[in-house]
Amino acid sequence: MLFEIKPKSRRKDLYDREKELKEFGDALKLGENLILILGIRRLGKSSLLNVALNELKLPYAKIDVRSLYFTFGTIPQDVLVREILESLLRSTRRFRKFRVGLERLVDSIEGIEVSGLKVRIGRKVHLIDILEKIDSWGERVIIAFDEAQYLRFSGLQYDGLIAYAIDNLPNVTFVLTGSEVGMLHDFLGLDNPKKPLFGRYAREIVLERFSRDKSIDFLIKGFSELSIDVPQDEIEDAVEKLDGIVGWLTMYGYLRGVRKLSHEEALSELLNMARSLVREELDKILSHSKRYGMILKAVSLGNERWSEIKEFVESKTGRINDAKFSILLRNLVKYGYLDKISGKYRIPDPIVREIIRR
């Protein structure tokens, strides 16, 4: 169902993204070791990743790095190892050919016990040893980190580890997704000579919002799956307000088509649901500085220029020096909460903009 709220994992539930899936497949065919899936929240990165991994019929591990970070406050190596191995085992459930070999491989690692799909780690293990072992298996294995920018919150240098793996482990391909595109780029440092991944090639698959025509077609197809007739003007109004962000289009379709709300009710319930989601997402950065909230407020109210935004923020929270203010602005761009286009700032997501403005 196109209007299923959870991230998609089957091709038939995924609207379009043909080009992106093909690019993903091409990168793997060429044996590339680093694939990035980038784009602001709710453009369908996790969905694309799930579908791509399911279609490939290769062993893979998929780790939700954000949820690990929120559970542990850091990314502990033993937890990561366990998650990778358990996820790998799960992914080969349906392929006997891989399953037996993989179980044997994991079982042969000292300090690790496998029972069914569960992995127990008896003593300290190093991720790099595990990856070497996996590489030596001889099959291509994909290690996917969803919301990978959270890997930076760790005592361990996962960037260095990925660099080592890319240089030395030809059978391992890393796929990293990131909503905080700037943060992910900073963490990886592909063009930062001071960082371990400097100079490495990465395939970048950038997800864009749907065009107006695609958004309309998406809603029409979704409603027709549910055998529901929705007036064209309502569809166009929703498309206008949700600006091609598939996550919001899906939520609208779900509220309208599955929950059977009217057009107005669906939009207002969408805003309700979005409010708690967005608050939760913003919580972390607002805990770093209250000024982030003020900057977003300023921009949501139509202040676009550096100086206008600064003036607004200062009128609320007192003087702030230029350099510090610039850093805060730049961080919001890196987190994906602001866009900067020819010197003007904007909140890229219309629903986030609306929520902050109120």
Amino acid residing at 231: P
The nearest distance, CB 129 to ligand ADP, in angstroms, is: 31
**Of 33, 47, 77, 154, which one interacts with ligand ADP (CB under 6 A)?**
47
Question: Binding-site residue total for ligand ADP (CB under 6 A)?
Answer: 22
The nearest distance, CB 160 to ligand ADP, in angstroms, is: 26
Q: Report the alpha-carbon angle 14-69-345, nearest 5.
A: 65
Residue 112 contacts residue 106 (beta carbons within 8 Å): yes
Closest CA to 347 of 253, 281, 287, 262: 281
Which CB atom, from 37 or from 114, has the smaller least distance to Mg ion?
37
Which CB atom, from 143 or from 270, has the smaller least distance to ligand ADP?
270
91 counts as binding Mg ion under rule CB under 5 A: no
What are 131's two structure tokens? 């990856």
Stretch that binds Mg ion, among 44-52, 86-94, 122-130, 200-208 (CB under 5 A): 44-52
Q: Lay out the site mask for ligand ADP across 165-204 (x = CB under 6 A, - = otherwise).
A: --------------x-------------------------
3 state DSSP class of 321: coil
> Which residues, including other chains, have CB under 8 Å from residue 349's CB and lie 6 or more apart?
40, 41, 42, 243, 245
Stretch that binds ligand ADP, among 1-9, 126-134, 154-162, 227-235 (CB under 6 A): 1-9
Which CB atom, from 248 or from 312, has the smaller least distance to ligand ADP?
248
State CA 251 to chain mean position distance. 18
- What one-character-per-residue DSSP string does 72-122 give? HSS--HHHHHHHHHHHHHHHTTT-HHHHHHHHHHHHTSTTEEEETTEEEE-
The residues in 225-284 that bind ligand ADP, with binding defined as CB under 6 A, are 246-247, 250
Closest CA to 351 of 280, 232, 267: 267
The nearest distance, CB 46 to Mg ion, in angstroms, is: 3
State the CB neighbour count (10 A cutoff) for residue 321: 7
What's the alpha-carbon Rg for the chain, to the nearest Å? 22
Q: Could you give the maximum distance between any two Cα atoms of the chain, in Å?
A: 66
Stretch that binds ligand ADP, among 12-20, 134-142, 163-171, 341-349 (CB under 6 A): 12-20
Stretch that binds ligand ADP, among 36-44, 82-90, 197-205, 288-296 (CB under 6 A): 36-44
Amino acid residing at 160: G
The nearest distance, CB 247 to ligand ADP, in angstroms, is: 3
**Of 34, 44, 80, 282, which one interacts with ligand ADP (CB under 6 A)?**
44
Interacting residues toward Mg ion by CB under 5 A: 45-46
Binding region for ligand ADP (CB under 6 A): 2, 4-8, 14-17, 39, 41-47, 179, 246-247, 250
